Amino acid sequence: MNDGLAESVIASAPGKINLTLRVGAADGRGYHPLFSVFECVSLREYVEIRPAAPGSVSVETLCFSQQTFDPRATAEMALLPPEEHLAVRAIRAVMPADTGADLVVYKSIPAAGGMAGGSADAAAALVAANRLWDLGLSASELEVTGRTLGADVPACLLGGLSVGTGYGDQMTAVDGSRSDLWVLAFATEGLSTPEVFRKFDRLITKPSELPSVQDFDPSRIAMVNDLSIPALALRPELAVLGEAAISAGASEWIISGSGPTVAALVPDMDAVVRVRNVWETFGYVRTVESAFGPVAGAHTESKVPHWAHK
């Protein structure tokens, strides 16, 4: 099979914005129970997988922003040791012993941005591997494996609108009868998720009780993120972006996950342009994207998108 002509399989998975992210008190391991409302959005990661020599897994990651190759982000991703790449971990979790895999990851969700880019890589890799090796894993088996790789992987697999309880990884799908248009500011510097949670522990000594799925009303989703308190304490300038978005016509803004991505909900394409124009004047904004949601979860693709080339 490993003759260079071997068939490849491609799968994609979406990034997410947490419409709601409530954080409880850390448990004995230092992990925080969460109540999260995920909206998967139209920025997707693509993973292409080809069979390789038994036992070997290689990965090349190509990064794109605004559908254009981004050499700087690509060089940064190349520094990530392959064993820490969530796509590689996903492949190793399911790969049959008598095979190997060469991966190409086409990233449009920035690393360390709070939009589950790494988890989307894992979700797409799991779906591609399932097809390539005909593993026959069901959606719930993929979810179980996904959860061991990262808490956001089940949300990226499922897609749409969902509620995550437990550590944000026990999913309940929600009726997605909403249609959102977002403008996203990706900061020049990422934020480390563990650092944001540590700051949360220092700032919030008595976290409030988490809501339950039973009490959740999908027609009244509150945009609230408990991690915005520590994220804004670490990066006060992000609040300036949020306020600038409101002045430019956004109806609401929120920090996505552990940040530093700022997500502004906008009513129409005119507002997209206005928010983009004002955000692009800030030196600490690396790039501005627009996205819509909710969108489908991880699935196979017949090809990579037209922009996915160097």
What is the set of active-site residues?
A: 16, 152
Cβ-contact 61, 282 below 8 angstroms? no
Cβ-contact 60, 46 below 8 angstroms? no
Nearest approach, Cβ of 214 to ligand C5P (angstroms)?
21
Cβ-contact 15, 116 below 8 angstroms? yes
Q: Is 248 in the site for ligand C5P (CB under 6 A)?
A: no
Nearest approach, Cβ of 87 to ligand C5P (angstroms)?
15
- State in Å, rounded, how far the first CA of the chain is from the last one: 27
Residue in the structure block whose two tokens are 């981004």: 70
Nearest CB to ligand C5P, comparing residues 32 and 274: 32
Q: Is 32 in the site for ligand C5P (CB under 6 A)?
A: yes
State the Cα–Cα distance between residues 168 and 213, nearest whole angstrom. Answer: 12
DSSP 42-59: EEEEEEEEEEESTT-EEE
Among 150, 159, 242, 297, binds ligand C5P (CB under 6 A): 150
Give the angle 184-185-189 at the CA atoms, nearest 5°: 140
* Three-state secondary structure call for residue 149: helix
Among 82, 139, 141, 167, binds ligand C5P (CB under 6 A): 167
Q: Is 90 in the site for ligand C5P (CB under 6 A)?
A: no
Neighbours of 273 (CB within 10 A): 15
Q: Is 73 in the site for ligand C5P (CB under 6 A)?
A: no
Of 25-33, 43-51, 96-104, 288-296, the window that binds ligand C5P (rule: CB under 6 A) is 25-33
Nearest approach, Cβ of 213 to ligand C5P (angstroms)?
17
Q: Is 193 in the site for ligand C5P (CB under 6 A)?
A: yes
Nearest approach, Cβ of 142 to ligand C5P (angstroms)?
17
Nearest CB to ligand C5P, comparing residues 60 and 201: 201
Give the side-chain half-sphere CA count within 13 A for 189.
9
Nearest CB to ligand C5P, comparing residues 34 and 137: 34
Binding residues for ligand C5P (CB under 6 A): 30-32, 34, 150-151, 167-168, 193-194, 197
